[in-house]
Amino acid sequence: MLLPQDLSKVVSELDAADREAVSIVGSLDDARVNWQPAGGRRWSIAQCLDHLARANSEYLAPLREALRRAREQGRLRRGAVGPGLVGGWFERQLEPPPRLTMRAPRAIQPVSAIPRDEALARFLASQDAVRRLLAQSADLDLSVRFANPFVPGLRFRAVAGFRIVAAHDRRHLWQARRVLEAPAFPR
């Protein structure tokens, strides 16, 4: 299916995140993928991937529901829509390097350790789920709103949800790359 340019751009960003994750993990073993900088006060590469997989899953549930309602209501795409003022601001805050740090909500806090292959597979599967939902919804009006699963009362346009996922990927893959490049990282 040929996607409109604005949605194709999001898919390209998700594809780039997949390639970056594979590149970061490379041929690392479980111990190095789970190594934490700053004496364990910062996340490991595996934790970054686990966090992204969990966040994608949590984001997709309300997004999927909003898009299901849009389909039932016959709200079809008329053209590209922007993320909106709040959605655009939120997206920008997630871009690396982080300007604003936030504590991850409990539902998306990563496990303390996870095997390399499992962390990567979960991340890639969550990315595939995002791409599938985007492709299935390409004909819909993506200005429909969904509830942010982490901030009660905050609603974003659906298109912002997809863009936020891609920005969130960039943020934590940047963080994972920094772990790999840390001087104390076990070579």
Q: What is the pLDDT of residues 104-155, one digit of tens each?
A: 999 999 999 999 999 999 999 999 999 999 999 999 999 999 999 999 999 9
What is the model's pLDDT at position 102? 83
What is the pLDDT confidence band of residue 40, given thresholds at 50, 70 and 90?
confident
Taking CA atoms, 59 is separated from 40, 128, 141, 150, 182, in Å, by: 27, 14, 18, 9, 30
What is the model's pLDDT at position 1? 66
Mean pLDDT, all residues of the chain:
96
Q: At a CB cut-off of 8 Å and minimum separation 6, what does 120 contact?
A: 21, 22, 25, 49
Which structural domains are found in the chain, ordered by start? 5-181 (1.20.120.450)
On the question of pLDDT at 167 being above 80, the answer is yes
On the question of pLDDT at 101 being above 90, the answer is no
> pLDDT (tens digit, 9 = 90+) per residue, 76-85?
999 999 999 9
What is the pLDDT confidence band of residue 159, given thresholds at 50, 70 and 90?
very high
Q: Give the whole-number percent of the chain exceeding pLDDT 70.
A: 99
Q: Which two tokens stand for residue 117?
A: 């292959």
